[in-house]
Amino acid sequence: MTAQMIFFTILALIAITGAVMMMLLTTISHRVVSMWFSFFAVAGLYFLLGAEFIGIIQIMVYVGAITILFVFGMMMTDHKTVSFEKDPRTAHNVIGTISAVGVLGILLYGIFSMDLPGNAQPEVTTVHAIGMDLYGHYFVAFIAVAFLLTAALIGAIVIARKEAD
């Protein structure tokens, strides 16, 4: 087993464990910490794949910005009254589990039946080319996403202010 495979296994286990713990924990602050670990492990996987730019973006956007937004959301709302207990309706749990297993089966079938070339060289893209695409071809979509995120932030502040009053 190579060192790259060992690091991949460790990072994959951290990412999966963080995601599962985020669903199982009942305290919001514990959920944020486990989400942080999961996002950080995904950034490590990007570094392991040689996509350093995407890894840095993962750290800046998800590990940094979204985690801070969750912390601000926790500070602005009364999260002590929110509880995440188990749902007593077992039919919903059974249907959800069957659906999740079905989707997993379809994904695994698609992954294992893919016909990938053996020695495909990855496309090397520079940061300059990514910036030209983002601010050139997709500039309108980039601005639309910025307006959408700003509207969502304003909406979250309005909802939080109504709860505080």
- Domain boundaries, given as residue ranges, for the chain: 1-84, 126-165
Looking at the domain that runs over 1-84, which CATH code has it been given?
1.20.120.1200
Q: According to the model, what pLDDT value does residue 101 have?
A: 93
72-116 pLDDT, tens digit each: 777 776 666 555 566 667 788 788 889 999 998 998 898 888 887
Distance CA(112)–CA(102), nearest Å, equals 15
**Under a CB-based contact definition with an 8 Å cutoff, are residues 41 and 18 in contact?**
yes
3-state secondary structure of 119: coil
| Biggest alpha carbon–alpha carbon distance for the chain | 62
What span, in angstroms and rounded, lies between the C-alpha atoms of 125 and 51?
Answer: 10
Percent of the chain with pLDDT over 90: 21
Spatial CA neighbour of 31 closest among 79, 65, 77, 76? 79
pLDDT band at 17 (very low <50, low <70, confident <90, very high): very high
What are 57-76's pLDDT values in tens digits?
888 888 777 777 777 777 77
- 1-20: buried (b, 16+ CB within 10 Å) or exposed (e) per residue? eeeeeeeeeebeebbeebbe
Residue whose tokens read 């060192």: 3
